[in-house]
Amino acid sequence: MEPILSLQNIYKAFGDRVVLNHVDLLIEPGEYVSIVGASGAGKSTLMNIIGLLDQNFTGTYAFNGQPLSKREHSRFRNQHLGFIFQQYNLIPSLTSKENILLPCAYASGKIQEAEQTCERMLREFGLEKQKDQPVNTLSGGEKQRIALIRSVIMDPEILLADEPTGNLDEKSGRRVRDFLQEMNLAGKTIIVVTHDLEFSNEAERRLKVEGGELHELS
Amino acid sequence: MSFRKCLRIVKNAFRMYGIYFRRNLYLTITISVSLLMFLGFAMYMDIELANQEQSYRRIQSNYIVVNCINQATTEEFNQLFHSNRRLALQHHFGSCELMNEDGEKIDAGCNLLASQQFISGISIRNGMDYLGGAEASNAFCYDTFELLCGRGQYRAANEAIISEELSSLIASKPEDALGKHIVLGLFGPTQVYVVVGVYHTTQTETRLNKESFQQLNAGINPEKSMIFTVFLPENALIGIEHPTDLYLFFQNQVEYREIMKKLQKYDAAHQVEEKMYSYRTPSENEESFEFDQATNTRTKALIMILVAVLAGISVFGTMENSISARKTEIGIKKALGAGDGAIMFEFLVENIITSLVAMLFSICLVSLALLAYTYYQRRFLAMDFVVWVYPSTIWLFLCYAFSSILGFSLIPAFRATQVNIIDTIRES
Ligand SMILES: Nc1ncnc2c1ncn2[C@@H]1O[C@H](COP(=O)(O)OP(=O)(O)OP(=O)(O)O)[C@@H](O)[C@H]1O
Ligand SMILES: [Mg+2]
């Protein structure tokens, strides 16, 4: 099977400090990958490159075997990637629903479908009452749930999560992990960075960033 | 970008405008203030011009105006155009005070001087110049007479009154008042004037009480009689020691051509000398008005550029601020797939909305001021000029202000697209 993402010979340095030293990463469709490593090892740096949030790197990046030009990056993020951040990264002044539907503003089509999905998921996550509330009035757990819904609203093939449970209590963290597993079962490719050993063990494939290199853990 | 996508972004920007209304409010106010300055000034210029235009329109249709530089030329024209000469009196509504029966002050169109037992107001003119008038008595009535005067000799008296006899004469047999003397001490030394015309007008009072006026003068439309022509008696201008503008009156093209022929002949005979007169035909009047109009537009355009740049700069500043304040938002939007175009478009649209609101706001405010001024003019100055603003002012305003604001928004909007996603996401 052709890898859904293939990163080859990725090199990233901040000044003299080399964070990723010619790293290769192939990810198969439907894989559940977790990335671990010490603090400052470069996990977030790698995630940002995978998510094309950082475009300043050398190396090749291909989606389904196709290299992407810089102009296609934003559309690619919009259509094929879903992000879950540790800091939620919601727009505080907008309501929950508006935040969830934000990616739709930059896409064509899929809008009605997305609105239905949004309503349904808000119900599933028990956030119906909060849907028209500005997100800066929500609790952390609620924010993370909104972020979860937003990450899949465009029905992307790949979900990227950088320490999605870092700021959450046990129960909320559990929900995030269940959500990712569920999405993986539904066929999405998941890549997650975490410090939590138990969480990382849920993934079928585990990677470790160390000394600028990427190792497979078995 | 597809049309629907644009539409969605515009909708989004509208919502953002609402959400950031408070921040945008400052911007709106800043722009409005700078725009107000211009618009107020431009509209003031328009009012002046509109007043001018209205006078032109009234006079020009049937007159050729001859401005004489000296007395001799006045006399000469007086003889030359004996049958056509008129004095056109433009009824001028100045500020004034009148007393009603109860001794309360009321507003009226003319300054009227004291004449105790006289029952009518009298105002006195010399050509276009307003000299003075007679104050209404306690038994004020709605009739007013206008006296047309030639200038007499100086006298060292302080009173400025019209004698009782003359007053009643004017009221009962106006034509007999011709040639009588009036003593006026209005400007500088007291002067004695000779009455050269008397005509009846009730206009002043139309401003006070239109209904009473209409009851008194059924069938007369006072608004239409703002310009009077006075036929001058044979010796009317004798004894006038300063030149007068003569209005040569024509009723049709034949008369017009006759006058023009005479004028041209006169021109030809006086070519070598320094001209002691000038004349304007209706079309020249029109031209001179058009020239004034063009000057007006040019001046407006110049001020406009200045103010548009000011408005633009204030947009620039405020937008720069708002972009730094909203870096995180921009970063998140970019992460979620907003392209550079979409980000830029969104900010521009938001700014355009802000500017439009500011523009509407300033137009409304200035229009309100204009209405207030119109009211003031009618109520307190008793002036009947229609206050209007030329459409060109509004167009100039909209185009300049809009393009300047748009232009100055481009740089900040572009800067918004340069926001680094990772930095902003890390910070939050
Ligand atoms: N913009 C930057 N400029 C300079 N150095 C940077 C920058 N961003 C990251 N780094 C450095 O790169 C290294 C990797 O950072 P990164 O955020 O990827 O670590 P991490 O593995 O995610 O750590 P943690 O588990 O603590 O989140 C760190 O040493 C960090 O100081
Ligand atoms: Mg990290």
Question: What pLDDT does B105 receive?
Answer: 40
| Residue at token pair 């439907």 | A30
User: How far apart are alpha carbons B403 and B426 in whole angstroms?
Assistant: 37
User: How far apart are alpha carbons B145 and B178 in whole angstroms?
Assistant: 13
Distances (CA, A) of A66 to A5, A7, A22, A30: 9, 11, 20, 18
Where is the domain boundary, B280, B296, B327?
Answer: B280
> Which residue's C-alpha comes closest to atom 19 of ligand 1?
A40
Residue B35 sits in the same domain as residue B104: no
Q: Are A199 and A33 in contact (CB under 8 A)?
A: no
* CB of residue A39 inside a 6 A radius of ligand 1: yes
Residue A18 is encoded by which pair of tokens?
């080399």
User: How far apart are alpha carbons B19 and B150 in whole angstroms?
Assistant: 72
* CB of residue A41 inside a 6 A radius of ligand 1: yes
How many domains would you assign to chain B?
Answer: 2
pLDDT in tens, B67-95: 776 767 777 777 777 766 655 443 332 22
In chain A, what percentage of residues exceed pLDDT 70?
99
Question: What pLDDT does B285 receive?
Answer: 74
pLDDT in tens, A16-45: 999 999 999 999 999 999 999 999 999 999
Residue B89 sits in the same domain as residue B187: yes
How many domains would you assign to chain A?
Answer: 1
- Nearest by Cα to B146 from B188, B185, B202: B202
The CA R_g of chain B, rounded to the nearest whole Å, is 31
Q: DSSP secondary structure string, A90-129?
A: --TTSBHHHHHHGGGGGSSS-HHHHHHHHHHHHHHTT-GG
Where is the domain boundary, B280, B304, B319?
Answer: B280
Please give the model's pTM, rounded to 2 decimal places. Answer: 0.67
User: How far apart are alpha carbons B111 and B131 in whole angstroms?
Assistant: 9
> What does the pLDDT average to over B209-221?
44
> What does the pLDDT average to over B82-109?
41
Task: Compute the mean pLDDT over every residue in chain A, rounded to the nearest whole number.
Answer: 91
Ligand 1 atom with minimal separation from the A37 CA: 21
pLDDT in tens, B135-146: 332 223 334 455
Of chain B residues 328-357, which have a CB less than 8 A from chain A? 328-329, 331-340, 342
Q: Is the ipTM of this complex over 0.85?
A: yes
Q: Give the confidence band of B396 by pLDDT, cuts at 50, 70, 90.
A: confident
pLDDT at B186 over 50: no
pLDDT at B154 over 90: no
pLDDT in tens, B32-54: 887 787 788 888 888 778 777 76
Ligand 1 atom with minimal separation from the A15 CA: 4
Q: Which amino acid is at B142?
A: Y
Residue B346 sits in the same domain as residue B418: yes
Give the minimum alpha-carbon distance from A218 to chain B in angstroms, rounded to a whole number: 31
Q: Can you list the alpha helix ranges (DSSP code H) found in B223-281?
A: 253-269
- Give the structural domain span for A206: 5-217
Q: DSSP secondary structure string, B70-122?
A: SHHHHHHHHHHTTTTEEEEEE-------EE-TTS-EE--SS--B--TT--SEE
Question: What pLDDT does B93 receive?
Answer: 28
Residue B49 sits in the same domain as residue B16: yes
Residue B36 sits in the same domain as residue B90: no
pLDDT at A61 over 90: yes
Cβ distance B4 to A108 less than 8 Å, yes or no, reads yes
User: How far apart are alpha carbons A54 and B418 in whole angstroms?
Assistant: 13
Of B7 and B95, the structure prediction assigns the larger pLDDT to B7
Residue A9 is encoded by which pair of tokens?
């010979």
Where is the domain boundary, B229, B253, B280?
Answer: B280
Q: Are B43 and B362 in contact (CB under 8 A)?
A: no
Residue B271 sits in the same domain as residue B293: no
Cβ distance B336 to A107 less than 8 Å, yes or no, reads no
Q: What angle separates helix B3-19 from helix B21-60, to the nearest 10 degrees?
A: 100
Ligand 1 atom with minimal separation from the A163 CA: 27
pLDDT in tens, B362-394: 888 888 888 888 777 666 654 555 667 788 888
Question: What pLDDT does B111 receive?
Answer: 30
Question: What pLDDT does B407 receive?
Answer: 87
Longest distance between any two alpha carbons in chain B, whole Å: 99
Residue B259 sits in the same domain as residue B342: no
Of A165 and B199, the structure prediction assigns the larger pLDDT to A165
Residue B198 is encoded by which pair of tokens?
């008397």
> Which residue's C-alpha comes closest to atom 29 of ligand 1?
A40
Q: Are A139 and A167 in contact (CB under 8 A)?
A: no
Of B201 and A82, the structure prediction assigns the larger pLDDT to A82
User: How far apart are alpha carbons B377 and B83 in whole angstroms?
Assistant: 38
| Residue at token pair 């105790």 | B116
Residue B299 sits in the same domain as residue B159: no
Residue A31 is encoded by which pair of tokens?
């894989």
Across the A:B interface, residue pairs with CB atoms under 8 Å apart total 71
In chain B, what percentage of residues exceed pLDDT 70?
53
The CA R_g of chain A, rounded to the nearest whole Å, is 17
Residue B321 sits in the same domain as residue B273: no
User: How far apart are alpha carbons A156 and A188 in whole angstroms?
Assistant: 8
- Nearest by Cα to A44 from B23, B282, B426: B426
> What does the pLDDT average to over B184-194?
51
* CB of residue A35 inside a 6 A radius of ligand 1: no
pLDDT in tens, A62-115: 999 999 998 899 999 999 999 998 888 999 888 999 899 989 888 876 678 888
Task: Compute the mean pLDDT over every residue in chain B, rounded to the nearest whole number.
Answer: 66
pLDDT at B187 over 70: no
Residue B275 sits in the same domain as residue B311: no
Residue B390 sits in the same domain as residue B369: yes
- Nearest by Cα to B63 from B256, B230, B292: B256
Residues 6+ apart with CB under 8 A from B419: B323, B327, B330, B331, B334
Q: Are B13 and B343 in contact (CB under 8 A)?
A: no
User: How far apart are alpha carbons B219 and B214 in whole angstroms?
Assistant: 8
SS3 B238: coil
Residue B275 sits in the same domain as residue B237: yes
Q: DSSP secondary structure string, B166-213?
A: HHHHHHH-GGGGTT-EEEE-SSSS-EEEEEEEEEEE-HHHHHH-HHHH
pLDDT in tens, B261-319: 888 888 887 765 666 677 777 777 778 778 888 888 888 888 888 878 887 887 788 77
Residue in chain B lying closest to A48 (CA):
B422
- Give the structural domain span for B189: 63-280
> Which residue's C-alpha comes closest to atom 27 of ligand 1?
A39
Distances (CA, A) of B265 to B162, B240, B260, B262, B279: 43, 26, 8, 5, 13
Nearest-ligand number for the alpha carbon of A211? 1
Residues of B in contact with A107 (CB under 8 A): 5, 337
CATH code (residue A102): 3.40.50.300
Question: What pLDDT does A185 receive?
Answer: 95
pLDDT in tens, A178-214: 999 999 999 999 999 999 999 999 999 999 999 999 9
Low-confidence winner among A150-164, B71-85, B188-202 (lowest mean pLDDT): B188-202
Nearest-ligand number for the alpha carbon of A35? 1
User: How far apart are alpha carbons A12 and A22 in whole angstroms?
Assistant: 8
| Residue at token pair 């998510």 | A51
